[in-house]
Amino acid sequence: MRLGAGAQSDLTNLAKNEVTLRQYNNMDFQNALLREISRPTYIRMSDRDKALTLRRIEDAYYERAFQILLQMPEYGNLATAYQDRQRLQEQGVR
C-alpha cells in the first residue's frame, strides 16, 4: 500500500523515534539497534546475516508504527482503505 509523503513522514517518525517494543526490552528503534550491533554474536555474523538482522528489527518497528498510524484520526481514510484491502485479500481477491 503506497502512502503519501505526509503519511510516510509520520510513519518513519513513529517507527524510529516513538515506538518501543516489548520484544526489544521496551527500547526505541535506535537503542534496539545499538544493543544488537554490540552483541558478540552480531559481530561474528556474515554481512548478509547482519543486514537481515537489522532489517528484521526495522520491520518490527515499522509494523507497530503502521498499526499506530492507522489509529490516528487524521488517517481514518487510510485505515478504511487498509481494512478493505485486508478483507479482499482474505476473500482471495488481489
CA–CA distance, 53 with 21 (Å, rounded to integer):
16
Backbone angles phi, psi at 85, to 5 degrees: -65, -40
pLDDT interval class at 4 (50, 70, 90):
confident
- Distance, in Å, from the CA atom of 23 to the CA atom of 34, rounded to the nearest integer, reads 15
Whole-number pLDDT of residue 94 = 66
In this predicted structure, what is the pLDDT of residue 48? 98
pLDDT tens, 46-93? 999 999 999 999 999 999 999 999 999 998 888 888 888 888 888 887
Residue 8 pLDDT: 93
Q: What is the pTM of this model?
A: 0.85
21 has pLDDT over 90: yes
Residue 27 — pLDDT band, cuts 50, 70, 90?
very high
Question: Which residues fall within 8 angstroms of residue 57, CB to CB, at 6 or more apart?
Answer: 24, 29, 32, 33, 36
